[in-house]
Amino acid sequence: MSIKLMLIIPDNSEIFNVKMKEALGPVISPDVTVDVVSLKQGNICIEGRYDLSVNAPYVIEIALHAEKDGYDGIVVSDMDMCGVEAAREVLDIPIIGGFRACAYTAMMIAQRFSIITVLDSVVALQTEHVRAFGITENFASIRSVDMGVTDLTNTELAVERVFDQSLKAVEEDGAQAIILGCTCFVGVAAEVAGLLKEAGKPAPVLDPNCTAVSYMELLVRNNLSQSRLTYYKPANFK
């Protein structure tokens, strides 16, 4: 079977489109195609709850068009799942964000994980996800690297800061796996994992885009989508 997926970057910017497309290459199967799109409206990036609320309607609109255009599944490239929960009520094809795919994968390969995210402004928000999904016992910590989303085009600096906080998460917080808390940490996971191994702390590091797209492929191949006993279609939706 051939699988057609869409990766929606919920930012009003195209600065990461090409890099994300290239980063997905090694993890997608030969019969899978992934189209990467970003928003044409809304805020330039997501660094808090306000940005999530502003950009979510545009994500849902793109997702609805994607389903009509024959896509088999949609990944929203966002650890805070911009628009995902609402879109699940109106889509029949599966749609996921980065957080749960990363968290559940981390728990399959380690007992405790830490999140390394961008700014303090999303620390409380992402900690809420941990509580909401009932995985606090597996959660070691969350740390930020004090870099805005658009600053992550500086991959060298991002690797340096993520490694520093990851090492502290392992040594001080008891983390056994690391989740990158922003999908725009492109090209960072493998570098940080290598540095941790060199430091004698070989914790796996999860790239949220690669993990979520791989997870979506699993859902599509197994003919799985969001449960209608959880996500009821709105009576007024046409």
146 within some domain: yes
Q: What is the chain's percent helix, strand, coil content, to nearest 5?
A: 45, 15, 35
Residues 34 and 84 in one domain: yes
pLDDT digits (tens, 9 = 90+) for 167-224: 999 999 999 999 999 999 999 999 999 999 999 999 999 999 999 999 999 999 999 9
Identify whether residues 74 and 138 lie together within a single domain.
no
Are 193 and 170 members of one domain? Answer: yes
182 lies in which domain range?
99-208
21 and 71 share one domain: yes
The two structure tokens encoding residue 9: 């970057």
Non-local (6+) Cβ contacts of 222 within 8 A are: none
Q: Report yes or no on 49 lying in a domain.
A: yes
- 200 Cβ contact list (under 8 Å, min separation 6): none
Structure token digits, residue 139: 């959660």
* 55 contacts 86 by C-beta, under 8 angstroms: no
Predicted confidence at residue 237, as pLDDT, reads 86
Q: In 3D, which of 228, 221, 236, 224 has the Cα closest to residue 93?
A: 224
Q: Is residue 171 part of a domain?
A: yes
pLDDT in tens, 90-118: 999 999 999 999 999 999 999 999 999 99
Per-residue DSSP letter, 84:
H
Q: What are the C-alpha distances in Å from 25 to residues 8, 20, 29, 184, 186?
A: 16, 9, 9, 16, 13
Say if 237 falls within a structural domain.
no
Number of domains in the chain: 2
Is there a domain that residue 233 lies in?
no
- Integer Cα distance of 86 and 56 in angstroms: 9
> Do the domain assignments include residue 176?
yes
53 and 130 co-located in one domain: no
CATH of the domain at 198: 3.40.50.12500
Q: What pLDDT, on the 0 to 100 scale, is given for residue 198?
A: 98
Residue pLDDT, tens place only, 128-164 = 999 999 999 999 999 999 999 999 999 999 999 999 9
231 part of a folded domain: no
Do 7 and 71 lie in one domain? The reply is yes
pLDDT in tens, 23-69: 999 999 999 999 999 999 999 999 999 999 999 999 999 999 999 99
Same domain, 216 and 195: no
129 and 177 fall within a common domain: yes
In the numeric block, the tokens 């999908």 are attached to 183
Residues 77 and 132 in one domain: no
The reply to whether 138 and 196 lie within a common domain is yes
Same domain for 215 and 176?
no
pLDDT at residue 210, rounded to an integer: 98
